[in-house]
Amino acid sequence: MSTIGFIGTGIMGRHMASHLQQGGHELLFCPHRTPTPAALLDAGGRDCGSPRELTEHAEFVITMLPDTPQVAEVLLGDDGVLAGLSQGKLVIDMSSISPIETKNFAAKVLTASCHYLDAPVSGGEVGAEAGTLTIMVGGPNNAFERARPLFELMGKNITRVGDNGAGQTCKVANQIIVALNIEAVSEALLFASKAGVDPARVREALLGGFANSKILEVHAERMIKRTFDPGFRIALHQKDLNLALSSARALGVSLPNTATAQELFNACAGQGWSDLDHSAMARALELLAKHEIA
């Protein structure tokens, strides 16, 4: 069993860390903005004073943070992960961040004779709690194989997509698909409801057809029942679509429907809904229609 340093025990990270503990690994934590959940400490986890201290005592270091600046802070700060690295350690970033900056982080870790994997995840809190996350990995194959037993404790669909940065690029692509699917389901249910048809029955009917999707299964129910407590916050999906649109500009690619989805999220943010689940995109369309899915 290994000693794993884990930084970022928020909505998803706390469940991911718990699965690693249940797999028999020793977990070290470094609180980042919020305290380490008591359940992780009660299960044998131990807090460290800094990312550097955590790294000095761990074989693997996993980060699960909100955005690129936080990952940069934890990795490159004066008492950061990079300062605590010694030959052979493996840094795994499971956040969703910039593919370009990911390549820079990997290069800095390599100078310490260590490897770096970008391994963002999809599946939300439900997948994190169930240990069924999709994990998209970028980095050297030997490092991927070394980390695979850890990934298998947290997820089910685990794919090495390519070299460093490829995992983050894949996650951006994932977030484009998810956002557009949320928009499509929102529009469909709003249309049906405005036409006087029960959206719950429409959802039930569509689940058996070609329109079926995870978004229709999970998020359509949220829209109908008005349960928008966050599994994945609008603010985080806005961040991911910003990455998509800025990367598209750099590549000279047009993503018109991604831009529309981002504007709907922006409308939600303008209403003070940034901390609601991303399925609450439907509420922006409801404002335009002056009609609520119900």
At residue 139's C-alpha, the angle toward residues 134 and 140, to 5°, is 125
Active-site choice (89, 108, 156, 171) = 171
Verify whether residue 214 is a known catalytic residue: no
Q: How many residues does the chain have?
A: 294
By three-state DSSP, how is residue 61 classified? Answer: strand
Amino acid at 209: G
Per-residue pLDDT in tens (0 to 9) along the chain, 294 residues: 899 999 999 999 999 999 999 999 999 999 988 899 999 999 999 999 999 999 999 999 999 999 999 999 999 999 999 999 999 999 999 999 999 999 999 999 999 999 999 999 999 898 999 999 999 999 999 999 999 999 999 999 999 999 999 999 999 999 999 999 999 999 999 999 999 999 999 999 999 999 999 999 999 999 999 999 998 899 999 999 999 999 999 999 999 999 999 999 999 999 999 999 999 999 999 999 999 998
Amino acid at 76: L
List the alpha helices (DSSP H) in the chain.
13-22, 38-42, 51-56, 68-76, 81-84, 99-110, 124-130, 141-154, 166-194, 199-206, 214, 220-225, 234-251, 256-270, 281-289
- CA dist 47 and 27 (Å) reads 9
| Phi, psi (degrees; rounded to nearest 5) at 182 | -60, -45
**270 Cβ contact partners less than 8 Å away, ≥ 6 residues apart:** none
- CA dist 125 and 51 (Å) reads 25
- CA dist 186 and 192 (Å) reads 10
The answer to whether residues 68 and 97 touch, using CB atoms and an 8 Å cutoff, is: yes
